[in-house]
Amino acid sequence: EVQLLESGGGLVQPGGSLRLSCAASGFTFSSYAMSWVRQAPGRGLEWVSAISGSGGSTYYADSVKGRFTISRDNSKNTLYLQMSSLRAEDTAVYYCAKHSSSWYTSKNRFDPWGQGTLVTVSS
């Protein structure tokens, strides 16, 4: 069974940093691109970042470009999101999600999703 388990969320002050992790199991991790998608409280879904299966290509939403860094360790079957210069508007549940191929393409779909980890940016 494919499983994704996020961790690392919590309360952080504005301007601070946080690193999220997503532990994957049940599939060949390196064969699939992965994404982070967030959902602010009571709001809709917002794609944040994606990384190819090899880790050689990364993509970011304009809202996080220059502040967030996505990476992966295929030897540990783990996806990461390093977040810095955090703002109140970054407060959200962050989900990791598996793509349907090793590349970030226009046919991207997300299946499955992890259960999410809550990041709260507040003083």
Partner 1 sequence: QSVLTQPPSVSGAPGQRVTISCTGSSSNIGTGYDVHWYQQLPGTAPKLLIYGNINRPSGVPDRFSGSKSDTSASLAITGLQAEDEADYYCQSYDSSLSVVFGGGTKLTVL
Given 22, 29, 34, 35, the residue binding partner 1 (CB under 8 A): 35
Nearer to partner 1, 46 or 84 (CB): 46
Query: In which order are the strands placed within the sheet that holds 3-7?
Result: 3-7, 18-25, 78-83, 68-73
User: Three-class SS of residue 30?
Assistant: helix
Distance CA 14, CA 4 (A): 28
- Residue 123 engages partner 1 in binding (rule: CB under 8 A): no
Window 77-106: contact mask with partner 1 (x via CB under 8 A): ------------------x----x----xx
CB-based burial of residue 74 (10 Å sphere; 0-12 exposed, 13-18 middle, 19+ buried)? middle
Segment interacting with partner 1, rule: CB under 8 A, options 14-22, 43-51, 69-77, 80-88: 43-51
CA–CA gap between residue 52 and residue 71 (Å, rounded): 9
Stretch of 14-22, 45-53, 70-78, 84-92 lying at the interface with partner 1 (CB under 8 A): 45-53
The verdict on 1 binding partner 1 (CB under 8 A) reads: no
Angle at 106 between CA 36 and CA 63, to 5 degrees: 40
Residues near partner 1 (CB under 8 A): 35, 37, 44-47, 50, 59, 61-62, 95, 100, 105-116
